[in-house]
C-alpha cells in the first residue's frame, strides 16, 4: 500500500486530501482518492474508492452468510463514491461482476433463488453491472450503512424475482409492464400484431440473457372461449345447411336459415312465442330481424356441442403459436418450455392471456 495523506489536522474545518494505491491478494488493485474533514468526517467527506480484479472465491464466507451460496469463481470490480455534507450521505456504488460461478448452497438454503438472480443480471458476455445508490443521515444513531446496503440489495433481488420482465425491460430500455402475457382473441390462437411486437421485445431480452428460458402456460377462458368456439361451430353448421350461402360471421346469417335450424332443436311452441314477442317489441322490420336473429343465435350457440378437451386444445395451440414465433431466432428452440394449460379470466371475456414466465432451463 502506498500513497499520500495531506493536511491531517484536528483543527476545525481543515480538509485532508487522500490518495492511496495498493494491491489486494495476488492480482487485485485498490485505489482511494478524495478529501475529508478529519476532525469531523460527518460534516464533510468526498471519497472515491475502487477495487479492481478481486477474486470472488475469497469472499465465500461473506457470500455464504448473506447470500446462502459458496462462490467457486469470478472477478469483482467496485467503484464506490461517498459524499457526506452536514451528515447527509449520498453514495454511488457501481458493482461489476465477471464470470461468476456459484458453488454449493448452504444448509438451510438461500433467501433468494440466487442462480435465477445471476441469470437475470448476467449479460451475454458473463458480466453483471449494477448501480446501488445509497442515501441516509449518518447523524442518525439508527443508520447503519452495511444494513442499508443489504436492504437495497435484497429489494433489488426481490424485484428481479417477482417482476423479471419489468427489471430486464428497464435495463434494456423496453416498455415491459405487459410482457408477462400474450393476449389472444376469444376462440383464436392467432397472434395479433400488438402481441407480435411484445414477442419481438421478449426476443431482444432473451438474446441478451442466454442463461434464461421462457415457460409458456396456455390460457383458456371457460366463458369467453366457450362462446367463441360454439359460435364458430354454429357458423360451420349453417354453412353445411346451406352451401350456397356465403357467410362472413354470425351476423351475416339470414333469419330464415336461423329459423330452420332452430326448428330442428327448439320446441316449436317456444320458437313461435319467441318470434311473436320480438314482432310485438319491434314493429319496424329491420329492427325485428336484427334482434330476433340475435336471440336465435344466442339459443343456437348454447346448443352447440363442445368438450373440455377442445378448450385445452385451444390453450395448447396458443402456447404453440408463441413458441413457433420465438423459435425463429436461432438457439431459442431449447429455451422455450410449453407447460400445463391454465384456466384464466379473460379481459371482458374478449381477450384471453397466455402467461409467460422467465425460468432457468
CA dihedral 241, 243, 248, 249 (to 10 degrees): 0
Q: Which residues, at least 6 apart from 328, have a Cβ–Cβ distance to it below 8 Å?
A: none
d(CA 158, CA 112): 8
Q: Give the span between the Cα atoms of 133 and 158, in whole angstroms.
A: 17
Residues 6+ apart with CB under 8 A from 144: none
Residues 216 and 233 in one domain: no
62: closest CA among 133, 126, 149? 149
CATH of the domain at 329: 3.30.1330.60
Of all helices (H) and strands (E), which one includes residue 47?
strand 44-55
**Are 273 and 347 in a shared domain?**
no
Judge if 322 and 248 occupy the same domain.
Answer: no
Parallel/antiparallel/unpaired status of strands 28-37 and 44-55: antiparallel
Same-domain check for residues 247 and 123: no
Per the listing, cell 385451444 goes with 314
The reply to whether 6 and 109 lie within a common domain is: yes
Q: Which residue has the cell 425491460?
A: 169
| Residue 313 belongs to domain spanning | 174-222+308-359
Walk along the chain (361 residues) and give the pLDDT tens digit of each residue: 788 988 887 777 789 999 999 999 889 999 999 999 988 899 999 999 999 999 999 999 989 988 999 999 999 999 999 999 999 999 999 999 999 999 999 888 888 899 999 999 999 999 999 999 999 999 998 888 888 888 999 999 999 999 999 999 888 888 767 899 999 999 999 999 999 999 999 999 999 999 999 999 999 999 999 999 999 999 888 887 776 555 554 445 788 888 888 888 888 888 888 888 888 888 898 998 888 889 999 899 999 999 999 999 999 999 999 999 999 999 899 999 999 999 998 766 689 999 999 999 9
Residue 85 CB-half CA count within 13 A: 4
Whether 99 and 180 share a structural domain: no
Q: Kindly state whether residue 167 falls inside one of the protein's structural domains.
A: no
The label of the residue with cell 447503519 reads: 144
Provide the number of structural domains found in the chain: 3
Amino acid at each position: 500500500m502506498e500513497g499520500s495523506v495531506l493536511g491531517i489536522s484536528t483543527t476545525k474545518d481543515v480538509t485532508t486530501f487522500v490518495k492511496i494505491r495498493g494491491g489486494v491478494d495476488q492480482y487485485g488493485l485498490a485505489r482511494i482518492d478524495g478529501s475529508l474533514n478529519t476532525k469531523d468526517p460527518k460534516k464533510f467527506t468526498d471519497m472515491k474508492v475502487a477495487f479492481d480484479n478481486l477474486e470472488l472465491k475469497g469472499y465465500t464466507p461473506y457470500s455464504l452468510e448473506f447470500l446462502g451460496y459458496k462462490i467457486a469463481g469470478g472477478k469483482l470490480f467496485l467503484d464506490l463514491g461517498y459524499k457526506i455534507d452536514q451528515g447527509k450521505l449520498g453514495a454511488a456504488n457501481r458493482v461489476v461482476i465477471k464470470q461468476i460461478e456459484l458453488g454449493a448452497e448452504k444448509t438451510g438454503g438461500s433467501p433468494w433463488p440466487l442462480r435465477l438472480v445471476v441469470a437475470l443480471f448476467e449479460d451475454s458476455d458473463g458480466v453483471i453491472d449494477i448501480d446501488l445508490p445509497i442515501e441516509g443521515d449518518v447523524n442518525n444513531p439508527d443508520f447503519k450503512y452495511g444494513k442499508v446496503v443489504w436492504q437495497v440489495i435484497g429489494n433489488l433481488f426481490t424485484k428481479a424475482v417477482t417482476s423479471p420482465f419489468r427489471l430486464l425491460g428497464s435495463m434494456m430500455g423496453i416498455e415491459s409492464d405487459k410482457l408477462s402475457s400474450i393476449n389472444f382473441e376469444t376462440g383464436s390462437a392467432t397472434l395479433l400484431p400488438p402481441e407480435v411486437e411484445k414477442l419481438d421485445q421478449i426476443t431482444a431480452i432473451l438474446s441478451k440473457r442466454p442463461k434464461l428460458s421462457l415457460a409458456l402456460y396456455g390460457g383458456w377462458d371457460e366463458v369467453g372461449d366457450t362462446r367463441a368456439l360454439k359460435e364458430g361451430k354454429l357458423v360451420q353448421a349453417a354453412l353445411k345447411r346451406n352451401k350456397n350461402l356465403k357467410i362472413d360471421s354470425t351476423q351475416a346469417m339470414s333469419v330464415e336459415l336461423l329459423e330452420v335450424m332452430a326448428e330442428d332443436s327448439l320446441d316449436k311452441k317456444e320458437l313461435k312465442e319467441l318470434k311473436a314477442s320480438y314482432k310485438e317489441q319491434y314493429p319496424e322490420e329491420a329492427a325485428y330481424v336484427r334482434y330476433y336473429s340475435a336471440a336465435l343465435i344466442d339459443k343456437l350457440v348454447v346448443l352447440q356441442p363442445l368438450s373440455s378437451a377442445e378448450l385445452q386444445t385451444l390453450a395448447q395451440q396458443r402456447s404453440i403459436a408463441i413458441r413457433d414465433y420465438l423459435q425463429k431466432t436461432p438457439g431459442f428452440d431449447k429455451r422455450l418450455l410449453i407447460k400445463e394449460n391454465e384456466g384464466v379470466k379473460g379481459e371482458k371475456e374478449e381477450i384471453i392471456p397466455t402467461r409467460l414466465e422467465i425460468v432457468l432451463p
